[in-house]
Structure 1
Amino acid sequence: MVHVAPFSRILAVLCLTFCGCVHAAGDDTISTDRPDFVESSQVVGRGRVQLETSVQWDRQRSDASRERTFSTPTLLRIGVGESTELRIETDGRTVVHASSSSSGVRANTAGYADSAVGVKWHLADQQDRQASLGLLLHADLPSGSRELRGHGVRPSLRLAAEWDLAQDLSFGIMPGVAVDRGDDNRRYGYGILAATVGKEFDERVRGFVELAAPQIARASSGGTQASFDTGLTYLIDKDIQADFLLMHGLNRRTPDLSVAIGLSVRM
């Protein structure tokens, strides 16, 4: 898989293939991994296919430069068992507008982001104080456009833990580790940590606030990225959910502002 065009064809083929074996739906409602950074501990279930897609705009400014990025983050989740799902993920079509504050030079980059393949296992349901647990193993592949392509295969491992609390509140935390390569092709490891608090306002509307550190690393390895996030989800029906995300970067290595609108559909 080289670009998002093949990725889109793969999505279509997989959806057609799996829709034929989808079982009848019960009273359960869709559970998504977006828009917050902390992943859900749940899987979609055997025979289910779930597509979670969005459009996102990021802005990053410093004394020396400004950068605006448009992307289309998309996740395909395929249930292969009651506790296991396969995952294909990408930031999709990506357009970057960069400019230098001092020289006024502008540069535009457009193409397709790398894709990742992965597996999620639902390890345990919540029981009293014990969290609902999910384990995610992903590998980012150097499959995007040349200007946006990463270096080699970059694996990651994350643990999602969730608790349903009183007064329609919920709490989730996701620690993890990952490996990446720098421009010099040197491998380095980094940590991942995020925590979120959710609130169900009614049967359709849910909100959340979150602190996320998608990369915790030494300065020589790209440094730490951190953000404060908030957003809303709206349940259109039991199989379709819309969402909105607002992110504020907490340091210079993180976009200072991000806005996203998403739609998730379960089949």
Structure 2
Amino acid sequence: MYHNRFGAVARLAELGCVLAALTLAAATAARADGCPKASDEIATDRPDVTNSSIVVPVGSLQSENGVNLSGRDGGRTIDGTNSRWRLGIAPCLEVLVDLPSYSGNVRSPGPLGFSDVAPGIKWQISPVPGKIDLSITAGVALPTGTAAIAGRGAQPYIQLPWSWELHDGWGVSGMFTEFFRPAELTGRHMSEATFVIERKLTERMSVFTEYVGDYPDGARPIQLINSGGMYRITPTQQIDLHIAFGLNRNSPNYIVGLGYSFRVDGLFR
């Protein structure tokens, strides 16, 4: 027991060191001329599971929101608003927070309640146009939600989203994530890997297909194929749709989601 507690504390300490290192490195190494600007079009972390490798411009606040309908074993669940707020605080550096989302059952009994509040920080490491963009995100889900839905205790995570623009509107991207749940009795660690193929159809519309694999310790993986599209109403507003299907018995049968995102620029003027 004491060994497990010591390991959990060590992981949290490591996360704190990562957060401090990210802030220091971004302040000293980020190149402002290659970082996102307010004149750039909106780039969101939704509707795919893979987050954008592009951060929010300095002085911009971005709000990303959505609602999902999920089906599993004859039951149906709806959750929303799945809101994430992102604020650019320095060149190539943003802070973000996932707000609590409510989950309710449309059919069949099950847990009801809210997810955790999850603040984080994201640094775009490689702001080089035409190259592979890479970012690193570190955050922690605070124990503010319903335990039956969000789990117990603080849950830190580290993510590495990347993207690569190809030719003729094609692009590929992906993300590696490590989740830690030190307060849980089992399943204290989970790895997630995603891979996306995206195609830009017009200047405003794009579509994607994504593989999502969650690999928890001591349990069967959850695997999904997620497809959808995004449409930019304006350079700073986007609507989206996605449909996912489970690839094994441990996964949801389906997930259908709609979303709306917007960005407000020039807050630091």
Task: Give the TM-score normalised by the residue count of structure 1.
Answer: 0.79
Who is 1:12 aligned against? none
Deviation of 1:121 (Å): 0.5
Residues 98/182 of structure 1: CA separation in 2 closer, same or farther (3 Å cut): farther
In 2, the alpha carbon distance for the partners of 1:242 and 1:231 equals: 11
Who is 2:238 aligned against? 241
Runs of at least 5 residues in structure 2 that lack an aligned partner in the other structure: 1-36, 265-269
Who is 2:146 aligned against? 145
Who is 2:196 aligned against? 196
Q: 1 or 2, which has the higher strand percentage?
A: 1
In 1, the alpha carbon distance for the partners of 2:159 and 2:147 equals: 28
Who is 1:86 aligned against? 95
The Cα RMSD (Å) is 1.9
Could you give the per-residue CA deviations for residues 145-200 of structure 1, whole angstroms, max 9, x where no partner exists?
354341111111111111010010111021121212575x3462221100001111
Of 215, 218, 221, which residue of structure 2 is paired with 1:224? Answer: 221
Q: 8 Å contact 2:153–2:183 — kept in the other structure?
A: no
Who is 2:262 aligned against? 265
Could you give the per-residue CA deviations for residues 199-246 of structure 1, whole angstroms, max 9, x where no partner exists?
110011100001011x2124x3x4311100100100000110000010
Q: 8 Å contact 2:154–2:183 — kept in the other structure?
A: no
Q: 8 Å contact 2:38–2:57 — kept in the other structure?
A: no
In 2, the alpha carbon distance for the partners of 1:124 and 1:243 equals: 27
Q: 8 Å contact 1:74–1:90 — kept in the other structure?
A: yes
Say how many residue pairs are matched.
227
Who is 1:48 aligned against? 60
Q: Alignment partner of 1:259: what SS?
A: strand
Q: Alignment partner of 2:181: what SS?
A: strand
Task: Give the TM-score normalised by the residue count of structure 2.
Answer: 0.79
Q: 1 or 2, which has the higher helix percentage?
A: 2
Residues 131/189 of structure 1: CA separation in 2 closer, same or farther (3 Å cut): same
Q: 8 Å contact 1:97–1:109 — kept in the other structure?
A: no
Q: 8 Å contact 1:227–1:250 — kept in the other structure?
A: yes
2:75 pairs with 1:67: yes
Aligned ranges 1:177-192 → 2 under 5 Å: 177-181=178-182, 185-186=185-186, 188-192=188-192
Residues 146/211 of structure 1: CA separation in 2 closer, same or farther (3 Å cut): closer
In 2, the alpha carbon distance for the partners of 1:141 and 1:210 equals: 28
Could you give the per-residue CA deviations for residues 15-63 of structure 1, whole angstroms, max 9, x where no partner exists?
xxxxxxxxxx8531111110011111111111110000001111111xx
2:156 pairs with 1:155: yes
Runs of at least 5 residues in structure 1 that lack an aligned partner in the other structure: 1-24, 100-106
Who is 1:111 aligned against? 113
Could you give the per-residue CA deviations for residues 69-93 of structure 1, whole angstroms, max 9, x where no partner exists?
1111111101111211111114512
Residues 108/142 of structure 1: CA separation in 2 closer, same or farther (3 Å cut): same
